[in-house]
Amino acid sequence: MKDTGKIVGEALTFEDTIIVPGFSPVEPSQVDLHSSPARGITINVPVVSSPMDTVTGWRLAVRLAQLGAVGVIHRNMSVEEEVAHVRRVKEAPQEPFHPYETAREGVRISGPVKPTVITDTTGRPAGILLPLGSGPHTFLLEDAEYTARLVQAGVRPSLDGMGRLLVGAAVSPFHAERAVALERAGADFLVTDVAHLHNANAVRALQDMARRVGIPVVAGNIGTREAALDIASKVEAIGGFRVGISSGSICSTGVVAGASMPTLQAVLNVRSALEELGLAGEIPIMADGGVRGPGDAAKAVIAGASTVMGGRLFAGVEESLGRKVRVGSRLYKTYRGMASRGAMEERYASDRYSKPSKQLEEGVEGLVPYSGPASKVVAHMYFGLQAALGYSGAGSIREAWENGLLARITPTGRGEVNPHDIILSP
């Protein structure tokens, strides 16, 4: 058959690849995961929550920064409201064992736990918290347990130079005023929040916005090498790239519009552009969309990402912005795409997908199982990433970029890699 030049390559997904096991000089527990969500900013757990109106507000952002990760406040609200969320994070205590809102005042929970030892504020043991079915006790117990595991592993809160919790904030590249207000409120970095940044007007607007703020601006979303080369050449001191188009669990762009760049391939593309520019490792890549757990996150890192961004990962946690819904005996939380009908009805999200697409839904809305405290997800990601990078032979994120390898796997191989020939216990 004649090559018409229309098929320009392959677009690999997390599912298409496996991590190649490599010689590891260190134990997984020694793998150092510190990394950068944006240029000049360091966190201990390379995981960032998505700026979505059922995911990240101040409450999740506070908890993630206390646990070594970071959140990006969504922008589907007025400038004043978004500024208030940022301020609340900057004013929150950094202490990871900070008593949860529902805890008795003056009571602290210390680890190691199971059962959980409760101490008073002077450190004296005040009792033992046992799992008592569902409810706030179970939540507190789990939260204390996972927090204790992270603290014992050496994870420290994500802090700015003044000892305050780190926080990112989402902006449209067209709203420089919002960007300036968020910087004044104390946001540590900004993340542009448009589905297809590689657009003449959006890039022009971003050039202007980046000149008007002093904090790093993570530019996205993009998916190609060309977009990274073009934007890096036009926008001064880019603070990072947010990459991946239509891989998100709630995305329907790939179906409705047919356009997509799976997150893993987007990372590979942008990393190759940055290598060409001699900026690989300097401009952080945030892998956004479709990350289901630490295995996917590790693949993104090996491909060249500094951090992974997750919406679905955090949508089910207590601290997310989604509403709790009970269906029968089970608890769920609402989760929706920012281009879903519900999100776009709130006027601030409507420009995410360019003006004409106001009439076009590019996201879905639904429910995800309630999954307890955010600390449980952070611990799962942290220890899972350490294990995954351990398999790859890398002792750090940088080593994973340099030495980590991925291999393509066939669909039959994928079947073999996933659990098979067993009826799973409920």
- So which residues are the catalytic ones? 251, 352
- Nearest Cα to Cα of residue 308 among 293, 323, 321, 328: 293
In the bound state with ligand XMP, the residue whose beta carbon lies nearer, of 116 and 221, is 221
Q: Are 288 and 312 in contact (CB under 8 A)?
A: no
Phi, psi torsion values for 358, nearest 5 degrees:
-50, -30
Residue from 151, 317, 338, 367 that binds ligand XMP (CB under 6 A)?
338
Site residues for ligand XMP, 237-276, by CB under 6 A, read 246, 248-251, 253
| Least Å from the CB of residue 76 to ligand XMP | 10
Rounded to a whole number of angstroms, the minimum distance from the CB of residue 313 to ligand XMP is 6
Nearest-approach distance from CB 109 to ligand XMP, in angstroms: 29
Binders of ligand XMP among residues 177 to 196 (CB under 6 A) are 195
Q: Cβ distance 338 to 349 under 8 Å?
A: yes
Cα separation, 247 vs 309, whole angstroms:
12
Report, in Å, the least distance between residue 246 CB and ligand XMP.
5
Tell me if 286 contacts ligand XMP by CB under 6 A.
no
Least distance (Å) from ligand XMP to the CB of residue 253?
4
When CB distances to ligand XMP are compared, the closest residue is 363
Q: Which is nearer to ligand XMP, 212 or 341 (CB)?
A: 341
How far is 377 from 120, CA to CA, in rounded Å?
27
CA dihedral for 284, 281, 41, 322, sign (positive or negative):
positive
Q: How far apart are CA 60 and CA 44, in angstroms?
A: 17
Pick one of 46, 111, 223, 289: the residue that binds ligand XMP (CB under 6 A).
289
Parallel/antiparallel/unpaired status of strands 307-310 and 47-49? parallel
Stretch that binds ligand XMP, among 60-68, 230-238, 308-316, 379-387 (CB under 6 A): 308-316
- Given the complex with ligand XMP, which of 175 and 352 has the nearer CB atom? 352
The two structure tokens encoding residue 223? 């998916």
Of 97 and 174, the one with the shorter C-beta distance to ligand XMP is 174
Helices within 41-175 (DSSP H only) = 58-66, 79-91, 136-152
Beta carbons within 8 Å of 288's beta carbon, 6+ residues apart:
50, 220, 221, 242, 243, 244, 248, 263, 308, 309
Work out how close the CB of 363 gets to ligand XMP at its nearest, in angstroms, rounded to a whole number: 2
Helix, strand, coil: what percent of the chain each, to 5? 35, 20, 45
Q: Contact between 294 and ligand XMP (CB under 6 A)?
A: no
The reply to whether 46 sits near ligand XMP by the rule CB under 6 A is: no
Taking CB under 6 A as the binding criterion, the range among 143-151, 305-313, 367-375, 402-410 that sits at the site for ligand XMP is: 305-313
Site residues (CB under 6 A) for ligand XMP? 50, 52, 195, 221, 246, 248-251, 253, 288-291, 309-313, 337-340, 362-363
